[in-house]
Amino acid sequence: MQGTANVKQEISHETTLFAEPIFHFGNFTLTNALLSSWLAVLIIISLAVILRKKLREVPSTLQNIFEIVLEGALDLCDQVTNSRALSLKVFPIAITVFFFVLINNWLGLLPIGGLGILEHGEHGLSFVPFLRGGTADVNTTIALAIMAVIGANLFGIFSIGIWKIFNKYVNLKALGQVFTKIKKDKTVIIVAPITFFVGLLELVGEFAKIASLSFRLFGNVFAGEVLLASMAALFAYILPVPFLFLEILVGVIQALIFSMLLVVYFTISATDHDEHSGHEAHKEHSQIEKESIISSH
Give, as ranges, the residues between 84 and 103 that touch another protein (CB under 8 A): none
Is 219 a binder of another protein (CB under 8 A)?
A: yes
CA 126/CA 128 separation, integer angstroms? 7
Long-range contacts of 155-160 (CB under 8 A, 24+ apart): 155/89, 155/90, 155/266, 155/269, 155/270, 156/266, 156/269, 156/270, 159/269, 159/270, 160/270, 160/271, 160/272
Q: Does 166 sit near another protein (CB under 8 A)?
A: no
- Residues in contact with another protein, counted by CB under 8 A, come to a total of 16
The reply to whether 260 sits near another protein by the rule CB under 8 A is yes
CB of 257 to another protein, least distance (A): 5
* Span interacting with another protein, options 112-120, 160-168, 254-262, 275-283, rule CB under 8 A: 254-262
Using CB under 8 A as the binding rule, the residues of this chain from 7 to 66 that contact another protein are 17
Q: Counting contacts by CB under 8 A, is residue 146 touching another protein? A: no
Shortest spacing between CB 255 and another protein, in angstroms: 11
Q: Give the 3-state secondary structure of residue 119.
A: strand
Any contact of residue 4 with another protein (CB under 8 A)? Answer: no
Q: Does 130 bind another protein (CB under 8 A)?
A: no
Does residue 268 belong to the site contacting another protein (CB under 8 A)?
no
| Closest distance to another protein from the beta carbon of 161 (Å) | 31
Binding map of another protein across residues 196-215, x = CB under 8 A, - = no contact: ----------------x--x
- Summarize as ranges the residues that interact with another protein (CB under 8 A): 1, 17, 212, 215-216, 218-220, 222-223, 226, 253-254, 256-257, 260
